[in-house]
A and B are shown apart, each in its own frame.
Chain A
Amino acid sequence: MSVFRAIFGKELRDALRDRRSLLAALIYPLVGPLMVVGMYAWMGKSQAPDRPVRVVFVGADHAPNFVDYLTDRGIESTEAPGDPEAALAAGDLDAIVEIPESFDEDLRQLRPVGVRVVTHGSRPGTLRAARRVERVVEGYGTRIGMSRLLLRGIDPRITRAVVAESVDLATDRGRAALVLGFLPMFIVLAGFVGGMYVATDASAGERERGSLEPLLLHPISRWIVAAAKWAATSVFSVLSVVLTAVAMWAAFRFVPLEGLGVHLDVGARLLGALVVMALPVAPMVAALQLLVGIFARSFKEAQTYLSLLMFLPMLVGVFTIVEPVQPRPWMAAVPVFGSMVSLGSVLRGEAPDAMFVATTVAVSALVTVAAIHGVAWLLGKERIVFGR
């Protein structure tokens, strides 16, 4: 036990003095929420319906009432410097509305008024803006049409035989899935980033420095060496995961989730659930990183291997964002993936399934113990101890 404490204490102290270890464990959780808030802001901007449409009115003098009507409905007149069509192509402008000189005359003569809406279809979001302008223009026309019917003693409703009421669920759901699908991977990755430098230093670092042989010629069990190094690495990955979950949760409280179609009760229970679901990943990743790291002769080599190891959850994570998964029992048995699925459920506001979570924890524990055994076994291999 005293040997365990000696190695654990030394690895912790060593890691705490290493700026890279600290940065990895502490910066990632802080960068995460910033990214999330930024993403929310960006998505809010491009997807929220109430952004004003910027247009240039040509011939506004011919129909001041019409222009006021549009302006009241979020279609703003912008002074385009120079050529409006160039501004349109550059994306500084959403549309050009051309009002004919004959606007008033046509109305009076009951002729259809031709209002041209010029857009540049290649700009993202322009099509949506153009449709809005068209809708509002037609709305104006409908109003006038209705008042004409009323003047003639006809109920305008007779012109609308069937009314389609469309409620677009897909966009709301899709948006929520995109936002929430990203988070489980992000939290899980914290476990990989947090312990990476500590694991590298405690495994490949010992080999590169030539400190592994003098360490192992002590009368100590290799299993205890492996376990103590794992414990020290785990401190960092657990810290990183918990911090990330807490920071993410705090970010939720500042972001208008409802506006994005995300309905989540951001309370203490959510935080607790996030931490509990994410936690089994951290110690397991720490053990796996040591196992991979001990194969490497140098720090650089280890970093390459460990970066590749980190691609696994990223691949799975991207897959689940594109194709949100419903929890199935077998998923619980897949390390890391099971935790991501649980986190996904929690973030959708669903109650986690106890059996599923228990299976995930059990599998993670099993993999952890196996990996520590693997490290201990490798520490007995001549090519690991002496191969530099």
Chain B
Amino acid sequence: MTIEFDDVRKSFGTVRAVRGVSFRAADGKVTGLLGPNGAGKTTSLRIMTGLLRADGGTVRIDGIDVMARPAEARARMGVLPDARGLYPRLTARENIAYYGRLRGMTGTGLARAVDAWIERLGLEEVADRRVAGFSQGERAKVALARALVHDPSNVVLDEPTNGLDVMSTRAVRDLIRGLRAEGRCVLFSSHIMQEVSALCDEIVVIAGGRVVAEGDAAAIMDAAGCSDLEEAFVALAEGDVAQ
């Protein structure tokens, strides 16, 4: 179970958002896509879901080329995209079940999966309330549950802790660790240093649409010649700008 980027490129007009990104996220590991705002993280993840067409290069999910066979590739992914709008007039349970049905799940299998994710994310108390009045944290949890309801082996999360308070952030981190323990391939993007260093087995640093360093925390610090990960990150990001 892997996600592979091979020389992926994408331009919007004259802006070269992604210029040759290559990396590999393996199963049983958490891979962090680390980069400042506007580095090309979200664009890369959008290309991975097949909703954005790359100008060149390939993305493979379990060996399946996303651009050639998007439906099969998507079936193997659970994605929390940048946009995570819920349906305010539906309850949490209905929001989650809807995505299960879109994956072809039905009947008791679906009901059991929805229950399991509600429990796992601690949504029992609000499960049958309409989403309209939910807090940021509750919304994020519902969005996560519906992205994972079909039990995907590859999990892609675009800045999953964005805008969350400490408690919710902690819950999301616990979830990510749990997903790794279950042997899934987890790829998530973030611009928060501490989060990436605390969670990730592999770090891919992206800046200016390029991979500027990859490996574990030690390897990243080595590459930048710094003894501190944050400084290494800043050095790498600025180094790219200077180029």
Contact = CB atoms under 8 A, between A and B. Distances in A.
Interface of A: 2-3, 5-7, 9-10, 13-14, 17-18, 206, 209-221, 382, 385-386, 388
Given A9-B101, A217-B74, A219-B75, 11 more contacts: A2-B101, A2-B104, A3-B104, A210-B83, A214-B79, A217-B50, A217-B81, A218-B102, A382-B52, A382-B53, A388-B83
B5 interface: no
Contact of A6 (B51, B74, B101): B101
A5 B51 CA distance: 23
Interface string B95-134: 0001101111010000000000000000000000000000
Contacts, number: 84
Contacts of B101: 2-3, 5-6, 9-10
Most buried by B among A206, A216, A217, A382: A217
A18 B85 contact: no
Contacts of A220: 71, 102
Contacts of A3: 101-102, 104
A216 B101 CA distance: 14
Contact of A14 (B49, B71, B89, B99): B89
| Most chain B CB within a 10 A radius of its CB, from A9, A206, A214, A220 | A214
A218 B102 CA distance: 7
A contact face: mostly helix, strand, loop, or mixed: helix
Contacts of A14: 87, 89-90
B51 A210 contact: no
A18 B88 CA distance: 10
Nearest to A216: B51
A356 to B, nearest CB: 42
Interface of B: 46, 49-53, 70-72, 74-75, 77, 79-90, 94, 98-99, 101-104, 106, 143, 146-147
B85 A211 contact: yes
Contacts of A210: 83-85
Nearest to B77: A217
Contacts of A217: 49-51, 74, 77, 79, 81
B90 A209 contact: no
B74 A218 contact: yes
Contacts of B83: 210-214, 386, 388
Contacts of A213: 51, 81-83
Contact of A10 (B49, B71, B79, B90): B90
A384 B143 CA distance: 21
Contacts of A386: 46, 51-52, 83
Contacts of A219: 70-72, 74-75, 103
Contacts of A18: 89
B81 A10 contact: no
5 contacts: A10-B90, A214-B83, A219-B72, A221-B71, A386-B83
Contacts of B106: 2
A34 to B, nearest CB: 30
Nearest to B83: A210
Nearest to B79: A217
A211 B95 CA distance: 11
A10 B85 CA distance: 15
A350 B104 CA distance: 51
A386 B17 CA distance: 15
Contacts of A218: 74, 99, 102-103
A141 to B, nearest CB: 76
Given A6-B102, A218-B102, A220-B102, A209 B74 contact: no
Nearest to A16: B89
Contacts of A211: 83, 85-87
A233 to B, nearest CB: 16
A22 to B, nearest CB: 12
B90 A7 contact: no
